[in-house]
Amino acid sequence: MNEKSKIYIFIDDETTAIAEMHAPTAFDLDTRKLVDGQHIMKIVSQDPNGTEGLRIIPFEVRNGPAIDISGIKEGAIIDGIIPIMINAYGKGNQQSFLIEGSETPQSIPWWIWILIISFIGWALYYLIRYLELT
């Protein structure tokens, strides 16, 4: 008798399994049916003798538009007037790439400015040295 283990898949605190299958199996989870945020997938397997195993997998769904915020971070202590930039962009139809609105503009990092100033200083030093020798 070649009985296989049975697998039950639950999402969050649901008491009804979203899928019942025999092992081994492949499964497509449609996250479009879930709200954005934290979720838990609970996989219960039951062998032919009735012994159960459990695996819990936490995951996060983000199907909605991505939200990017510049100017404030979580848990920040702030005062005065704070300029904040908010950008939200969706995935589109995933058949073509939409450039406009898909990236959040950001200022140039401080270390890039240091590199540029250092390079200009180095170039001026060698230019002056070259002009002194001629």
In this prediction, residue 81 carries a pLDDT of 85
In this prediction, residue 124 carries a pLDDT of 93
Q: What digits encode the pLDDT tens for the residues 112-126? A: 989 999 999 999 999
Tokens of 48: 């032919």
In this prediction, residue 58 carries a pLDDT of 95
pLDDT in tens, the chain (134 residues): 457 889 999 999 888 988 898 888 888 888 888 888 899 999 999 888 888 899 999 999 888 777 778 778 888 888 888 888 777 766 655 555 455 555 556 677 888 989 999 999 999 999 998 888 77
CB atoms within 10 A of CB 11: 19
In this prediction, residue 62 carries a pLDDT of 84
Q: What is the pTM of this model?
A: 0.55
**Rounded-to-integer distance, Cα 90 and Cα 71, Å:** 21
**Rounded-to-integer distance, Cα 78 and Cα 69, Å:** 15
